[in-house]
Amino acid sequence: MLDKLSQYERRYEDLSAQMSDPAITKNPALYQKLARELGDLQELIDVAAKYREAHGQLAEAEEIIADGSEPDLVELAEVERDELQGEVARMEEELKVLLVPKDPNDGRNAIIEIRAGAGGDEAGLFASNLYRMYHRFAERNSLKIEELSSSQNPAGGFKEAVFMVSGKGAFGQLKFESGVHRVQRVPKTEASGRIHTSAASVAVLPEAEDVEVDIATEDLKIEVYRSSGPGGQSVNTTDSAVKITHEPTGLVVSCQDEKSQLKNKNKALKILRARLFDKIQAEQKAKRDATRAGQIGSGDRSAKIRTYNFPQGRVTDHRITLSLYRLEEVLDGDFGEFVQQLALAAQEDALETASATAD
């Protein structure tokens, strides 16, 4: 345990030294990245210091007991040893959890993309339900929303909606939402009262920083066109909409929500950067093959992860087989129990994997 802690303590000292380097303080993006890593290590370093102190005191008590030359001191040392053994054991368990590799993206902002799936207009209306659910979740958790791109269907639902959630731990709180969300309910247009099943897909991407994804201008094909759909008078009468194609990967992003062509371009680049960052990470993950099949939060967006059953007032997360019979509250953004239980399941899975690797 002590040897492993030494690696993290050296990294903490190295980061602390780098933070005072003028070359790094002049680079805001890099400085922010290192500051985030330093902050993530802080709790581990604090517990490690207490663990080392208790471990040293335990060794001293055991030396006195082993020496046995002073009975009064031996008696006191035995009492202290028993207390310290419990304290050391407790901190070892705490450190095991803290030493589980954390997702380095957890502290980032999150870009959420919602798309209507199977089910026609009803799928679009369900996509709008999910859109509102995440907005209400953000409000409940003091997170901020920035709209990036959207398109609606004739029924008033969303074909697609893209927005950024920013604030402390935004991606870490929302990353398990990636996947297919299914709804079972009677559509308003269904005269016979028959229950329909529709779906919408959700992708949650960590916001990428400029220093991490370098997009060469010559790799971009940028097209402008006249916006369509509802909007202010200049939205539909000027070439403000922007379509960007990243030619090396074929990724395409369109944005038309703003009246300003420049604002649409900046928003489109933000989405493109996040998608490229996600693609790079997915490729690296596939090469490492470090994640076992079926692991919580594997990021498989083709998997059905949750069902919203209106007739029964039930929401079921299929990854952890947890059902909550308060559908309206969940759709109003109160799905923190899912967030907590999914994070706990992922942590337990990571601990199990770490233990198996150690063995």
Q: 249 and 320 in one domain? A: no
Q: 206 and 121 in one domain? A: yes
Q: What is the pLDDT of residue 211?
A: 56
Question: What is the domain range of residue 23?
Answer: 2-99
Q: What is the pLDDT of residue 118?
A: 86
Q: 243 and 114 in one domain? A: no
Q: 150 and 247 in one domain? A: no
Q: 244 and 269 in one domain? A: yes
Q: 180 and 131 in one domain? A: yes
Final residue in a domain of this structure, among 99, 124, 151: 99
Q: What are the backbone dihedrals phi and psi of residue 140, each rounded to the nearest 5 degrees, phi first?
A: -65, -30
Q: Choose between 142 and 354: higher pLDDT.
A: 142
Q: What is the pLDDT of residue 355?
A: 64
Q: What is the mean pLDDT of residues 324-345?
A: 95
The CATH number assigned to the domain holding 141 equals 3.30.70.1660
**The pLDDT of residue 340 is above 70:** yes
Report yes or no: 324 and 330 within 8 Å, Cβ to Cβ. yes
Number of other CB atoms surrounding residue 75 within 10 Å:
12
Q: Give me the residue label for tokens 């070439």.
A: 239
Residue 294 lies in a domain: no
Query: Could you tell me which residues come within 8 angstroms of residue 305 by beta carbon, excluding any fewer than 6 positions away?
Result: 176, 177, 178, 179, 180, 181, 317, 318, 319
Q: What is the mean pLDDT of residues 258-283?
A: 89
Q: 309 and 204 in one domain? A: yes
Model confidence over 274-286: pLDDT tens digits? 999 888 888 876 7
Q: Determine whether 164 is exposed, middle or buried from the number of CB atoms within 10 Å of its CB (0-12, 13-18, 19+).
A: buried
Residue 260 lies in a domain: yes
Q: What is the pLDDT of residue 213?
A: 78
Q: 141 and 258 in one domain? A: no
Q: What is the mean pLDDT of residues 1-30?
A: 89
Q: 190 and 135 in one domain? A: yes
Determine which of 137-141, 165-169, 183-187, 237-241 has the lowest per-residue pLDDT on average: 237-241
Band (pLDDT 50/70/90 cuts) for residue 122 is very high
Q: 327 and 192 in one domain? A: yes
Model confidence over 305-328: pLDDT tens digits? 999 999 999 999 999 999 999 999
Point out which residues pair with 115 in neighbouring strands: 160, 201
Residue 313 lies in a domain: yes
Determine which of 205-214, 220-229, 290-299 has the lowest per-residue pLDDT on average: 290-299
Total domain count for the chain? Answer: 3
**The pLDDT of residue 37 is above 90:** no
Q: What is the pLDDT of residue 358?
A: 56
Q: 337 and 311 in one domain? A: yes
DSSP conformation letters of 179-244: EEEEEEE--TT-TT---EEEEEEEEEEEPPPTTT----GGGEEEEEE---SS--TTTTTSS-EEEE
Q: 281 and 155 in one domain? A: no
Q: What is the pLDDT of residue 356?
A: 63
Residue 13 lies in a domain: yes
Determine which of 107-121, 155-169, 281-295 has the lowest per-residue pLDDT on average: 281-295
Residue 121 lies in a domain: yes
Q: What is the mean pLDDT of residues 224-251?
A: 75
Point out which residues pair with 222 in neighbouring strands: 244
Q: What is the mean pLDDT of residues 166-175?
A: 94
